Amino acid sequence: MQLDELYRQVIMDHYQRPRNEGTLENGTVSVALRNPSCGDELTLQLSVKDGIVDDVRFKGSGCSISIASTSMMTETIKGKSLEDALELSKEFRAMMRGEDVDDEALGDLESLHGVCKFPARIKCATLAWQALEQAIKTEDHEHAHHHD
């Protein structure tokens, strides 16, 4: 099987059966974003405990690239520290800029590598990560506040 075909299948699988879709009863932070280029919306919810992503859900509409990226992102960050999740986000964004990245850290997300060649679709792939980074920032801020 060609690598491109394998990647296409991974993306379609996440698009058709998105992981962690829905809402959290006990979320600690929620971020809603809109892709300005198409109007598609995404709401990302995290439940953070002791600096670890304990649970995550998302809701929204979008193209296959956007949903697949969100689904894979939620799967990859669950159980990770906010610090590691942020690190992963940086890796993903670097991949979207066409830079060499740590394939092993990215796992299934590597399947979105080809998107970097289509500038119009990069926003679709990075929307989830933008939401994640905003959620982490909010969490960090609140955490710092509690200790004031």
**Residue 39 region, left (φ>0) first, then alpha (ψ -120 to 50), else beta?**
left
**11 or 48: CB nearest ligand FES:** 11
Per-residue contact flags (x/-) with ligand FES for residues 12 to 51, judged by CB under 6 A: -----------------------x--x-x-----------
Give me the least distance between CB of 119 and ligand FES, in Å please: 13
Question: Alpha-carbon dihedral of residues 144, 55, 108, 123, nearest 10 degrees?
Answer: -60
For residue 71, state whether it binds ligand FES (rule: CB under 6 A). Answer: no
Which span (2-10, 13-21, 62-70, 96-104) binds ligand FES, by CB under 6 A?
Answer: 62-70
| Local structure of 38: helix, strand or coil | coil
**124 or 136: CB nearest ligand FES:** 124
Whose tokens are 């792939």? That residue is 125
Name the phi and psi angles at 60, rounded to 5.
160, 180
Give me the least distance between CB of 38 and ligand FES, in Å please: 3
| Local structure of 46: helix, strand or coil | strand
> Which DSSP symbol is given to 35?
-
> Which DSSP symbol is given to 62?
-
Q: Which residues bind ligand FES (CB under 6 A)?
A: 35, 38, 40, 62-63, 65-66, 124
